[in-house]
Structure 1
């Protein structure tokens, strides 16, 4: 049955009035901020409306979504419990969102929930040439936004990491979901906190810092394009590997020893994570001789604090106090 023709079959006068009202009625305005176009690793992507069935991969990326209050737009997460401790705060923010895969998602994992958006990154849930990429998901109608820090894996011309790397992602994701004002308020609050810290450490000699993630034959660490470089600098330090042209990668122990870091950041993944790393350094034939190891100058930071996400600001504050205790009365 043609419902359009059956609306007013017995009342032609009412039909005329209804049609007139439709002609004179104002055209509804587009939803706030839409359509919106953002850049993702050099790709312009356009959204006519906010995604309604989003999936986020990894702890830090999920925390960006949570900070923007986007849980109602989400249908799941991937890559959490297979690697990291689930903090009470993360679990509370996650609510009843399902974890679709404890580590790397498969195409089957993702398509099972009929997503319209995937927020991930290169080596944050996607690998160049792998099963899950913007192209492979795009073929199924799923838009992908890539974590900016990870773009260096497909474009070596990316600039070094700064806190603007984080701020850009938050602003872009806010725009994608029609939450520009909330994103800007978050960024402005973070900038104010960082400015206070930088004011307190201003004039201090930068402390030479080495981040030890994992690895025994060769240490896995953060280079020029990884977020810890920006966090360490904001806290009044210098990443001793800031000349290594990568984000995350391996270096030789000899390179670490040559640079004689004065402080070490350990990555706290799971139960006993940083403790195992610290015990290894204390027993390592070369690293055990560094003053930073002998004198116990180190700070454990959780994965979500050293990868791009809201917890980066907490990390800057913790690092500044650890690197320059004299500036904080500690």
Structure 2
């Protein structure tokens, strides 16, 4: 299923973003320009040098002669990246705002001050009239249409007339073009570096990516002795998407990379796409060894605990799932949805947390 359709579904039932396995790095361009590259290219660690050329999923370039001054983000994923980069003071609005308690503590106050231009997709007229010179697109496909009940997107000509340039997050907006399953975080890291170049915060971007690589590298080293056939089967149970029909995480969603890096095997890793509705019979047939209780942050520890408890209670009492191996053995992972399925720096922390839960003897440290 194409990313634009699934993101429309996510607006109603799930997790708001999709994933793809792109690198999104940077390489030197012509005439001394820094290029934020399309999938498959390496990412430069050098400071941003303008002009910066940014490629979309289809390889079309957008050139930035200077850092943007007024930025609008399509949802919480790109907003959090910009806040982490120190460019939050330039964000003048967002769509799909982060829920209560979902932003990390060090940027939560700054994030709360960003005006909400749309509880879901930003209305076309409001986006074009926002005064932005950059729009960071997290989940639209490259056709320019939003589809899936998401509304009508501005055309390329309308963006140009409004003076708005666009940057697409390769790790979330390019699902349909991803050449292979996403099994690492290079796409997310590439997006962070690309935004660092565009906003002139490359040094901070490099530091964020280095921290992610250190955390994931430590897990990889700790689990080096775990054979592929010993990886436990893992099901991400999207409790907030509803219990009537489960929503599976496929091989192009960033969660697939998180699960893989944590030493597990996504039982729906054979799904070619990001999200896909499946049946409880499908879940039973997979009989996972572990189940992640995917709930959204409720805004407090007490409310989060209740949500996790409710998700576990459902699985223990629902006739189709109470006999599953993971349920019988109490193998539940209590890690929230946002840090697992939304691209960002905290994906690396989630890798550590899941790995520590599954392999406590090998992975001692967890955030």
Shift of 1:170: 0.7
Shift of 1:284: 2.0
TM-score (norm 2): 0.74
The separation in 2 between residues aligned to 1:117 and 1:184, in whole angstroms, is 22
Shift of 1:256: 1.7
The separation in 2 between residues aligned to 1:127 and 1:262, in whole angstroms, is 40
The separation in 2 between residues aligned to 1:146 and 1:152, in whole angstroms, is 8
Shift of 1:50: 0.9
Check the 8 A contact 2:86/2:201 in 1, yes or no. Answer: no
The separation in 2 between residues aligned to 1:177 and 1:187, in whole angstroms, is 16
Superposition map of 1:120-131 within 5 A: 120-122=137-139, 128-129=146-147, 130-131=151-152
Specify every segment of 5 or more residues in structure 1 that has no aligned partner in the other structure, as ranges: 1-29
**Residue 206 of structure 2 corresponds to residue 206 of structure 1:** no
**Residue 127 of structure 2 corresponds to residue 110 of structure 1:** yes
Aligned residue in 2 for 1:255:
282
**Residue 39 of structure 2 corresponds to residue 39 of structure 1:** no
Check the 8 A contact 2:93/2:117 in 1, yes or no. Answer: yes
Check the 8 A contact 1:84/1:269 in 2, yes or no. Answer: no
**CA-to-aligned-CA distance 1:77-107 (integer Å, 9 cap, x gap):** 22125x5544572532325322222332112
**Residue 181 of structure 2 corresponds to residue 160 of structure 1:** yes
Q: CA 1:318–1:53 in 2, change beyond 3 Å: closer, same or farther?
A: same
Check the 8 A contact 1:149/1:247 in 2, yes or no. Answer: no
Aligned residue in 2 for 1:225:
252
The separation in 1 between residues aligned to 2:70 and 2:163, in whole angstroms, is 12
Check the 8 A contact 2:339/2:347 in 1, yes or no. Answer: yes
TM-score (norm 1): 0.81
Query: For this pair of structures, how many residues does the alignment match?
Result: 299
**Residue 322 of structure 2 corresponds to residue 314 of structure 1:** no
Check the 8 A contact 1:56/1:76 in 2, yes or no. Answer: yes
Pick 1 or 2: higher relative contact order, CA cutoff 8 A, min separation 6: 2
Aligned residue in 1 for 2:29:
none
Q: CA 1:217–1:73 in 2, change beyond 3 Å: closer, same or farther?
A: same
SS state at 1:61 partner: helix
SS state at 1:169 partner: helix
Q: CA RMSD in A?
A: 2.7
Shift of 1:328: 3.7
Check the 8 A contact 2:81/2:192 in 1, yes or no. Answer: yes
Aligned residue in 1 for 2:207:
185
The separation in 2 between residues aligned to 1:196 and 1:127, in whole angstroms, is 41
The separation in 2 between residues aligned to 1:133 and 1:221, in whole angstroms, is 31
Shift of 1:60: 2.4
Aligned residue in 2 for 1:119:
136
Specify every segment of 5 or more residues in structure 2 that has no aligned partner in the other structure, as ranges: 1-33, 35-46, 299-305
**CA-to-aligned-CA distance 1:177-216 (integer Å, 9 cap, x gap):** 1222221222122111111111112212312111111332
Pick the aligned partner of 2:72 from 55, 58, 68: 55
Pick the aligned partner of 1:305 from 335, 339, 348: 339
